[in-house]
Structure 1
Amino acid sequence: MKKTIKEKLEITNKESLRRRHSGNYTPIDNGEGYLLPYEVHLGNQPSKFFERLSDYDFLKPLTNGSVLTFAGLQNELKCLDDLDSGTGFWKNFNESALNMYLNPILGTTKWKQVYIKKSKETDADKPYHNDMLRCIYLLAHLHKASPSFIRQLAEENDVWSTDLRVYYPRKDFAFSEEYAGYLSELYANMLFHQPAKIRRLIKCLDVCIEKLIKHSDSDWIAPFLKHRTQDTDSPSLKILKYNQVASTTHFMALNKYMQNKVSYTFAPTSYAELEANEKDPSGLQIVATAQQYKLVAALCMRLALPNPLCEVNGSWVSEGTDPIKCRDMEICIDTVANSLAADALNQLRIESDGTKSGKRDTSLSAAIKKLAEQNPQTIEDILKIGSPDFASIPELYSFYLRKRSEYALAKARSRGDLEMSVLGHMPHRTPQAVIESMLPNPNTDKVLEYIRRNNLDKISDDIERLEHDLKMMRLREGAEPINIGLIYQYVFPFLPPRE
């Protein structure tokens, strides 16, 4: 009788999956940034834990005598059949998920022919045969938990998908938390036996892409963006790379969606009108109070600074920036509050498909109310906190707040409402420049082509060489050698608690 291996069956139950991946991230100072809670758990397991696993499990090291076959994989997956109805798992999984969504992820029209060995083929013919079978084994259990997972994994340029990420998922949106669990399972398994350089690159790839796009015209980066290497990445690494590239495209789509929503007009009296509306029983029914709008305006100002502030001699002081006079900070907060109030009075609506799966009350005003309730209740305390809590609201709303406040300050500067130099580390953009910053960077396609057309070893070598050269340059200039990397950060990162 075939032995039932329970380890992966745990993830076919959504509640078990959530528990498996709950907890806070553990910082790690090798440039990787963090360890997922389940990665820490796996690192503490005895060898017997891994010995008991299926040969098709990524976590079990392959021995020389291990022979993985496609027929053997299908036999392993019979435990996922629906015994009550007699419905087999494989046929539906193969037709509704693998054949439809795995091909675009792997960049082929025939993943089985490309990766799976036929009877007379050798390891030299199909070197990633075992890796492909292990991918299918893992994806099958995740598909059993959620038939929509692989379809969502294959999405690109989707505004809704910004709510679905491996870290800090939305707390009020069930599928967001589930999806984070699925991605955590994917990353923890596929990276478990990978070398440190690949683990670091995969986990930081979205940041790599962002920084390369921003600096792609520099003499440091432009030359290596032309590199092209032979396709030698395993299917598992391609899946993880695809997920990180797709994440970049989702935020590009979000920028495009939000361009005409952050530039609405507002007046210095908008917040006063919101307060008056609140006192008028016949006025607009706005979920959040005027004071909550003011608190969120302060949150927006706190987000603009890299570190908490403290009040010293009539100024707000933050490490790494010039002091900001308390009166100047009040003017900034009032400016942002006026812009948010004007949008409330105009009943601005921002929605995505994702809100349909969240709680019923997912309006922009409801998001502002929630933000005000889950963060400190005074402006002074908000400016002092380490990291604002935005986890329970859709990314569309937190992104709107960041860009709306940036636009509002630029607009106020342009019409003379702000005479001082506010937040010296922030770019003093014109309102039009703020909108233009949300347009696709012309170098984006160049960088994404570089990422797609090079194997991860080559990308890692390019990034490591860049980091080394920058470090040496800074050392020659007498700068501190800590936290100077363009992409990897060789210090313990600050990770807010998840729960």
Structure 2
Amino acid sequence: MKKTSKEKLEITNKDSLRRRHAGNYIPIDNGECYLLPYEVHLRKQPLEFFEQLSDYDFLKSSATGAALTFAGLQEELRCLENRESGIGFWKNFNESALNRYLNPILGRTEKNQGWKQVYIKKSKEADADKPHHDDMLRCIYLFAHLHKASPSFIRQLALENDAWSTDLRVYYPRKDFSFSEEYAGYLSELYANMLFQQPENIRRLIKCLDVCIEKLIQHADSDWITHFLKHRSEDTDPPSLKILKYNQIASITHFSELNKYLQDKITGPFAQNSFAKLEANEKNPSGLQIAATAQQYKLVAALCMRIPLPSPLREINGSWVSEGTDPIAYQDMKLCINAVANALAADALNQLKIESDGTKSGKRDTSISAAVKKLAEQNPQSIEEALRIGSPDFASVPELYSFYLRKRSEYAIAKARSPEGLKASVLPNMPPTPKAVIKSMQQNPNIRRVLDYIRGNNLNQISSDIEKLEFDLMMSCLKEKGYSKVGLIYQYVLQSLPPRV
């Protein structure tokens, strides 16, 4: 066994991989938002750690390594073979994972123009002919170890338009579902390795690309944005960054599918006394058996009010204030929380059920009420503290339910807007009417324009466009309001994150 293989062999064991990526995220204020636990670990390592790595490892500086070859990579991966079975690792890996799933991820669909033909140098080709030769070999080296840990990983990575996949992501995986944490470890390994040598602007863009896409779709018709959506630039990105870019694009398609599923689930009727009826039901021995208490529903309603705001709320002069947003008067916040509590209570009394088809680990998702109970128990126990926290902890709750809560809240607040109730100026970034909430869940016609822009530009061009947009918006806000607002895409503030351990 090669000494240079030991570091990556850690991730071929699922338990070791979980331990490597366990721990809390570290908030940073460079627009990247946070560092993954393993990224923090890597930044503390001495030079000797990197010197002993394989030349095919992303973590090792390419300036100090020898020339990389395809034959050399295959030799390096011999340590992954199962000598007892007699089945060579490379043949199975190449056919089942790389050709079938990596080609679509990299946009290589024609048989004679797959990843190997496009990126790997032949004997007489120079660096200028295949500038991403080394990067491609490093991608395969990393994928090989991840494939050894789980042959389903690259297949899952290649999926698009899969509502179930919203539970599988690098940030805040579900705690109650083992494959979710495992898959988050695989993604964390990709992000930590592939971004390690990248400049700050690319790290920032990749980590925030899902938010970037969402915001561009939302504001695509704005004069600030519509002009640069026409930009097209040369294909200069290495395959490693294309893989991360694909993962973020796929994430958007998964949530689009989830929106489609929940559209008719968040519009149920409710009244101003729905929460009171839930309280009365709780005191009635013969009433409906609901897992969460009425008070837990009210607490989760407050958590739902914390979700759309960029930073913790503070109490100032009779208002709740979140940095970068307009103050919300105490009475208006109370109206918002009551509206959401009434909507959630009505759904509980009407026994609304939403279920996924079941997870890959074989168990069905929990009920809405059980999810509400879990959220109430793992977050602050008072409404005031729920508003003051950095971020609500939704890690143990399937995305199906956290997304339902978010959209149901938007619908309830939109219904509460009236001359006698909630003013239109409160939470202006939320959809203003119930119809607008439903429209926000439908396939936005701008999504194709934005994804064409994302796919049609290299990351340096996209980064340049977004950085200029952020600067222009900041200067406009400074000129009009006398202060610079938190960015549209990048959040240049330290975020208080819920613990993961």
TM-score, normalised to structure 1, is: 0.91
**Aligned partners of 2:492 and 2:6: how far apart in 1?**
38
Q: Conserved in 2, the CA contact under 8 Å of 1:173 and 1:358?
A: no
TM-aligned CA deviation for residue 218 of structure 1 = 2.3
Question: Within 5 A, what are the aligned runs for 1:406-445?
Answer: 406-413=410-417, 419-421=421-423, 424-426=426-428, 427=430, 429-445=432-448
**Aligned partners of 1:333 and 1:325: how far apart in 2?**
11
Q: Conserved in 2, the CA contact under 8 Å of 1:355 and 1:394?
A: no
Corresponding residue for residue 102 of structure 2: 102
TM-aligned CA deviation for residue 420 of structure 1 = 4.2
* Residue 196 (structure 1) aligned to one of 188, 195, 200: 200
**1:84-123: per-residue Cα shift (whole Å, max 9, x none)?**
4333322222222111111110001211111122232222
- One-letter identity of the residue aligned with 1:248: I
Root-mean-square deviation (Å): 2.6
Question: Within 5 A, what are the aligned runs for 1:135-146?
Answer: 135-146=139-150
Corresponding residue for residue 348 of structure 1: 352
Change in 2 beyond 3 A, CA 1:36/1:83: same
TM-aligned CA deviation for residue 64 of structure 1 = 7.1
* SS of residue in 1 equivalent to 2:482: coil
Corresponding residue for residue 238 of structure 1: 242
Question: Within 5 A, what are the aligned runs for 1:252-291?
Answer: 252-280=256-284, 282-291=286-295
* SS of residue in 1 equivalent to 2:34: strand
- One-letter identity of the residue aligned with 2:107: G
TM-aligned CA deviation for residue 472 of structure 1 = 4.1
Q: Conserved in 1, the CA contact under 8 Å of 2:82 and 2:89?
A: yes
**1:365-424: per-residue Cα shift (whole Å, max 9, x none)?**
11011011112233343334333221110112111111112212322446x8x5242771
Work out the number of aligned pairs and report it. Answer: 494
TM-aligned CA deviation for residue 307 of structure 1 = 4.6
Corresponding residue for residue 130 of structure 2: 126
Corresponding residue for residue 43 of structure 1: 43
- One-letter identity of the residue aligned with 2:170: V
**Aligned partners of 2:416 and 2:483: how far apart in 1?**
37
* SS of residue in 1 equivalent to 2:27: strand
- One-letter identity of the residue aligned with 2:444: N
TM-score, normalised to structure 2, is: 0.90
Q: Conserved in 1, the CA contact under 8 Å of 2:299 and 2:381?
A: yes
- One-letter identity of the residue aligned with 2:432: R
Q: Conserved in 1, the CA contact under 8 Å of 2:300 and 2:375?
A: yes
TM-aligned CA deviation for residue 40 of structure 1 = 1.9
Corresponding residue for residue 487 of structure 2: 485
Matching of residue 336 in structure 1 with residue 310 in structure 2: no
**1:413-463: per-residue Cα shift (whole Å, max 9, x none)?**
46x8x5242771334622112111222222111011001011112112222
**Aligned partners of 2:30 and 2:415: how far apart in 1?**
42
Corresponding residue for residue 451 of structure 1: 454
**1:124-152: per-residue Cα shift (whole Å, max 9, x none)?**
22221111111011011111112111111
- One-letter identity of the residue aligned with 2:454: I
- The answer for unaligned runs of 5 or more in structure 1 is none
Change in 2 beyond 3 A, CA 1:33/1:428: closer
Corresponding residue for residue 296 of structure 1: 300
Matching of residue 375 in structure 1 with residue 388 in structure 2: no
Matching of residue 251 in structure 1 with residue 250 in structure 2: no
Corresponding residue for residue 14 of structure 2: 14
Corresponding residue for residue 321 of structure 1: 326
Q: Please identify, of 466-475 and 367-376, the stretch whose mean Cα deviation from structure 2 is larger.
A: 466-475
**1:242-280: per-residue Cα shift (whole Å, max 9, x none)?**
111111222222222211110012234433443444445
* SS of residue in 1 equivalent to 2:320: strand
* SS of residue in 1 equivalent to 2:229: helix
* Residue 155 (structure 2) aligned to one of 151, 154, 175: 151
**Aligned partners of 2:230 and 2:42: how far apart in 1?**
39
- One-letter identity of the residue aligned with 1:452: R
Q: Please identify, of 184-193 and 299-308, the stretch whose mean Cα deviation from structure 2 is larger.
A: 299-308
**Aligned partners of 1:187 and 1:283: how far apart in 2?**
50
- One-letter identity of the residue aligned with 2:487: G
* SS of residue in 1 equivalent to 2:264: coil
- One-letter identity of the residue aligned with 2:469: L
- One-letter identity of the residue aligned with 2:185: G
**Aligned partners of 2:477 and 2:334: how far apart in 1?**
37
**Aligned partners of 2:433 and 2:31: how far apart in 1?**
35
Q: Conserved in 2, the CA contact under 8 Å of 1:324 and 1:423?
A: no
**Aligned partners of 2:315 and 2:228: how far apart in 1?**
46
Q: Conserved in 2, the CA contact under 8 Å of 1:18 and 1:178?
A: yes
Change in 2 beyond 3 A, CA 1:33/1:62: same
Corresponding residue for residue 225 of structure 1: 229
Q: Conserved in 2, the CA contact under 8 Å of 1:172 and 1:359?
A: no
Corresponding residue for residue 91 of structure 1: 91
Q: Please identify, of 80-89 and 180-189, the stretch whose mean Cα deviation from structure 2 is larger.
A: 80-89
**Aligned partners of 2:409 and 2:368: how far apart in 1?**
15
TM-aligned CA deviation for residue 356 of structure 1 = 5.4
* Residue 185 (structure 2) aligned to one of 153, 157, 181: 181
- The answer for unaligned runs of 5 or more in structure 2 is none
**Aligned partners of 2:108 and 2:310: how far apart in 1?**
42
Q: Conserved in 2, the CA contact under 8 Å of 1:293 and 1:341?
A: yes
**Aligned partners of 2:449 and 2:461: how far apart in 1?**
16
- One-letter identity of the residue aligned with 2:326: T
Change in 2 beyond 3 A, CA 1:333/1:68: same
Corresponding residue for residue 57 of structure 1: 57
**Aligned partners of 1:233 and 1:429: how far apart in 2?**
40
Q: Conserved in 1, the CA contact under 8 Å of 2:268 and 2:347?
A: yes
